[in-house]
Amino acid sequence: MDKDAVLTHIKNSKGMSTVLGGELPVSVINNNKYISPLTSQTQVTDRDVDDDSLISLDLAIHTALSRESKTVVVAGPEGSGKTTALEKLVVDWAKGEGLQNFSYVFYFRFRELKFLEGTLSLEMLMQHYHGHIPPESVPLVLQKPDEVLFVFDDLDQSRSSLDPSIHTLCSDSSQAASVPCLLASLLHRSLLKGASFVVATRPTGSLEFLKGTWVEMLGFLKPQRETYFNGFFTDPAAANKALIHMERTLGFYDFSTSPRFCWTVCSVYKSLMNAGAELPETLSQLYVEILVHLIQALSLSEACSRELVLALGRIALCCSLDQHSRCTKEEMNFFDFQQFLNSVDVFLQVDGDLESDTCVFSFHSMLMQEFILAVSFFLDKSTSEGVEKMLEKHKGHAKFLDLFLSGLLEPLQRRPLETLLGEFNSDRIMDFKHWFLTSLEATLKGCDKDEHSHYFQLLQQAQSKSLVKEITTPSALGFSYAPLSLQDCVALNYVITCLGEMEQLNLFRILNLTEEKAEVLAPAMSLSCKIILTYSTLSTGAVSHLASAISRGITKELDLSNTGLTDDIFSILCTGLRSCKLHRLNVGGCQLTSGDDLMVVLTSPTSHLCVLEMRFNQLGDQSFIKLCKALHSPHCKLQELGLQRCELTAASMEAFSAALCSGQSQLRKVNLTENTIGDSGVEALCKSLQHPLCKLQSLNLFGTEMTGACCRHLMEALMSEHCSLTELDLSVNDLGQEGALLLCQALGRPGCPIEKLELARCELTQSVFKELGSVLRSGTSQLKSLTVGLNEVGDQGVKHLWDAVAHPHCLLEELDVEMTGLTDVCVEDVCAAITASKTLKSLEMRNNMLTDASVPALVKVMQDSDNMQEMNLKYNDFSEDAFDLLEECDKIRY
């Protein structure tokens, strides 16, 4: 096979270069401007793909063919570079630079093959399409199928399905058949069995009938776009300016990965930059510039230009509603386009001979088709069709139609078109604005994340700050928008920056907050009083932008719990925490082990951090001791510290106790739940509780392995005149009767500050309950909340508390007796206590043994009580019949 003839055949391809059609493949190849698009070796469900899974399209095809894959299917959207890549593949073979294991390579376009009518043999088809091959050579070539590679482009343009069941497949290369039958026979290996194929297509229904190695095209990601722009602009500064602008305004759209779209953008930008004009800020503005440029090149009058666009609108309407997205010559005549046929290829792609009735027309770009639809809708005065009906008609056909309508709603964006075409239909402008306002108002009242995001994109396209403020409020944006695409981030950031301030930015469970997304959201973050990132996954670069946003913004609360932050990434965040307005930080459930960076933050004169939640981190004693040093600093403003299950022991409690007594510590609330500090650790803390400089008001020692042996130290602390503790949780510790009775002595002392006490599952006895009842009736106790659940003392033990609640000196507002062994016997005492009490508001009685018999009395007393707000009766022994009665009282949970 004469490779020079093949090379000449490819390089002499005819065509016309247009802004929307992109640069001709032959021009790209001849001028050495080819950049291989990227593909993914794994299934892509999001644009955020791992760089390790990306390879160039050329390498993907070569690799697949070298592994004896007989069919390689290249799938990608319009303009993604399939045609250029395939032609480059053939050129490289003809130059001896690739695929040299094939002796023969034949390149076909379905776009051209579909016009071949009648029947042909494979030999005749190849002679017809590849006239540079001597006729006598074709039969000899086809005798060596293992050495033959067929390259098919534009499979989506095929007029016939590849379903083998609808064809009578042939096996003889000299047998005549229809072109669709020949192609189906080749691809299903009935004809020329040993041959190999590379097939390029847009996503289409025919793909289900193709078997082989699949290559999904991703096009140009950011690095490829940078290379492309640098090659397009001779001036590096101009290339950089254009690229930065494109990434900021358009780089978040999926179609920005299209080489053809990059060509279009570069062409428009270059023209505008040469004229000293501003670059477009939205997709709508870009297409306004394109349409103005194309029409001006035709030098038409305003009336003719208007009629041209209206005719194009009628064609766009036909193509949009036609599943094949094209129209016939007859339809073109019906749409009054005859007078513009000489310039048809400026706007439309022409397949076939322009003089033939079989010729079909389609838009170079689906985006342009939808933009023309939007323009013609606002331009047309001949129909009264409303916007809602129009959008419903195109639902599922036109993805960007409402987006373009939103862009054209703003006078500044449509002005260049109105200057050229005359004013838009004001009734339709008002109709669309009314629809927009009412639709968005209804959407924001709901909780559909996708609908919210879509309308934010419409607002971002309109570029009207006043419209955003007119339609939405910060309170409407409080729920999570995960998962967030880059486009979602841009739209959400635009809305928030227009509003000026957000009470809460909810980014809960964003599983891939990349650097690019965080960079886009940074302005919104800096305007948010509270940022929620719980259960999200943040890249190192994303944390950098988060730190920067917090350092310059108004954020006072940041929730990073369960994000898996490691020490090195947290160190980056801390650079922004040293000087910011942050008051509350939650890094619970991460992977932090070091206290070095936090110590620097807490001792910074410009830090305002006063609440720190670090639960479920492997902090350990050494790191905690470093944090304790920070509490000695006069700059440390920490008031609340959560250290649940942070692997602390008694070894660090002396340092902590010293910090609490330093006179500098502002700590008011500390949670040490499930740290094994034991009796000796609690003893160390009790020393600080008696110190006049200790300001601690709330201490949680839940499950800290303390016993009754340390209760004497607690008693002494609570009886100290300097103790300021009002809340104490000792639950899930084996205090026993002796230890608990010591505590009761302290609780009954006049002046004991404890108002909230939790003693769940502390091995308490009836004697302890009796003493607690005495404390509550004493008139000296300040207790308002008492939890004694999971202590099995039965009705007789808890009766002491019911009697106390009924006493006029009892101040109790909340009582928890969950799983204490209560039966129906207690109901009379419960009702008497509720009736007599002037303070009780909440009663927790779940997981007991109450039955249906107790329900009427409990319902009645709750309905009659003015004080009681809630009673919890869940998980008792009620039947379905009792639930009907319980439902009559909305203050009872069951």
Name the pLDDT band for 45 (thresholds 50, 70, 90). Answer: very low
On the question of pLDDT at 44 being above 60, the answer is: no
Given this model, what pLDDT does residue 323 score? 63
- Give the three-class secondary structure for 69: coil
| Least confident piece of the model among 248-262, 336-350, 495-509, 534-548 | 336-350
More confident residue, 659 or 213: 659
Say what the pLDDT of residue 11 is: 67
Contact 695, 667 (CB under 8 A): yes
| Residue 683 pLDDT > 90 | yes
**What is the mean predicted confidence (pLDDT) over 603-613?**
96
Please report how many Cα atoms fall inside a 13 Å half-sphere around the Cα of residue 754, on the Cβ side: 31
Domains (range + CATH), the chain = 3-219 (3.40.50.300), 222-279 (no CATH), 286-442 (no CATH), 735-894 (3.80.10.10)
Q: State the pLDDT confidence band at 212, using cuts at 50, 70 and 90.
A: confident
Q: Kindly report the length of the chain.
A: 894
> CB neighbours (10 Å) of residue 883?
12
Q: Could you give the CA distance from residue 571 to residue 336 in angstroms, rounded to a whole number?
A: 67
Which range in 111-120, 445-454, 750-759 is most confidently predicted, on average pLDDT? 750-759
Give the residue from 506, 539, 544 showing the smallest Cα distance to 524: 506
pLDDT 10s digits, 333-391? 788 887 787 778 888 888 878 878 888 888 988 999 999 999 999 999 887 788 999 89
164 vs 865: which has the higher pLDDT:
865
Of 846, 847, 845, the C-alpha closest to 831 is 845
**Mean pLDDT, the chain, integer:** 91
How many whole angstroms separate alpha carbon 442 and alpha carbon 588?
Answer: 37
Asked if residue 133 has pLDDT above 60, the reply is yes
Burial letters 313-337, b for 16+ CB under 10 A, else e: bbbbbbbbeeeebbbebebbeebeb
| 196 DSSP assignment | E
pLDDT tens digits for range 294-333 = 999 889 999 999 999 999 999 998 888 876 678 888 888 7
Q: Residue 770 and residue 794: Cα distance in Å, rounded?
A: 12
> Percent of the chain, pLDDT > 90?
67
CB under 8 Å to 743, separation ≥6 — which residues?
A: 711, 714, 715, 718, 730, 735
**Element (H or E) spanning 757, and its range?**
strand 756-758
Report pTM. 0.83
Q: DSSP character for 566?
A: B
Helix H or strand E segment including 683: helix 678-689
With cut-offs at 50, 70 and 90, classify the pLDDT of residue 13.
Answer: low
Query: Does 141 score more than 60 pLDDT?
Result: yes
What pLDDT is stored for residue 324 in this prediction? Answer: 63
Which residue in the block uniquely carries the two structure tokens 């053809």? 260
pLDDT confidence bin for 41, thresholds 50/70/90: low
Closest by CA to 730, choosing from 793, 800, 651, 677, is 677
pLDDT, tens digit (0-9, with 9 covering 90-100), for 829-875: 999 999 999 999 999 999 999 999 999 999 999 999 999 999 999 99
372 Cβ neighbours under 8 A, 6+ residues apart:
291, 309, 312, 313, 315, 316, 363
